[in-house]
Amino acid sequence: MIAGLPTEGYGSFLFCGGGTGGHLTPGLSVAQVLSARLPNARIVFAGTGRGRENAWVRRYGFEFRHLWASPWGKTPWRAARFAVRTTGGLFGAMQLEREIQPEAVIGLGGYASLAPGLVAATRNLPLILLEQNAYPGKANRLLSRWSKEICCAWKDAIPHFKRPDRARVTGNPIRAELRVGSADAQEWFGLSAMKLTLLVMGGSQGAAAINSAVAEALPVLRRYAGWLQILHATGEVTYERVKRAYRDTPIQHAVLPFIEDMAAAYSAADFVLCRAGGTSLAEITAAGLPSALVPLPIAANDHQTANAKVLERAGAALLVPQNELTPERIEEMAWLMRDTPKLRQMAAASWSVGVPDAAEVVANRILQLVGLGAARLEPARIRRNG
User: In angstroms, rounded to a whole number, what is the distance separating the alpha carbons of residues 257 and 250?
Assistant: 21
Per-residue confidence at 51, pLDDT binned at 50, 70, 90? low
Say yes or no to pLDDT of 116 above 90: yes
For residue 385, give the nearest of 289, 277, 285 by alpha carbon: 285
Say yes or no to pLDDT of 381 above 50: no
Report whether CATH 2.60.120.10 matches the domain 12-174+356-377: no
Say yes or no to pLDDT of 70 above 80: no
User: In angstroms, rounded to a whole number, what is the distance separating the alpha carbons of residues 269 and 291?
Assistant: 10
pTM: 0.87
What's the pLDDT at 48?
Answer: 83
What's the pLDDT at 1?
Answer: 35
Lowest mean pLDDT segment, chosen from 41-55, 88-102, 121-135, 311-325: 41-55
Q: How far is CA 11 from CA 34, 60, 370, in A?
A: 12, 19, 11
Per-residue confidence at 299, pLDDT binned at 50, 70, 90? confident
- What is the topology classification, in CATH, of domain 180-353? Rossmann fold (3.40.50)
Question: Which helix (H) or strand (E) segment is 251 a member of?
Answer: none
CATH 3.40.50.2000 domain residues, the chain: 12-174+356-377, 180-353
- Rounded to the nearest 10°, the torsion over CA 266, 268, 274, 280 is 0
Per-residue confidence at 76, pLDDT binned at 50, 70, 90? low
What's the pLDDT at 80?
Answer: 64
Residues 191-206, mean pLDDT to the nearest whole number: 85
What's the pLDDT at 251?
Answer: 98
Lowest mean pLDDT segment, chosen from 51-55, 214-218, 259-263, 371-375: 371-375
CB distance 158 to 179 below 8 Å: no
Lowest mean pLDDT segment, chosen from 6-15, 146-155, 295-304: 6-15
pLDDT above 90 as % of the chain: 70
Query: What rounded mean pLDDT belongs to the chain?
Result: 88
User: In angstroms, rounded to a whole number, what is the distance separating the alpha carbons of residues 196 and 167?
Assistant: 40
User: In angstroms, rounded to a whole number, what is the distance separating the alpha carbons of residues 120 and 137?
Assistant: 19
For residues 250 and 92, the model is more confident at 250
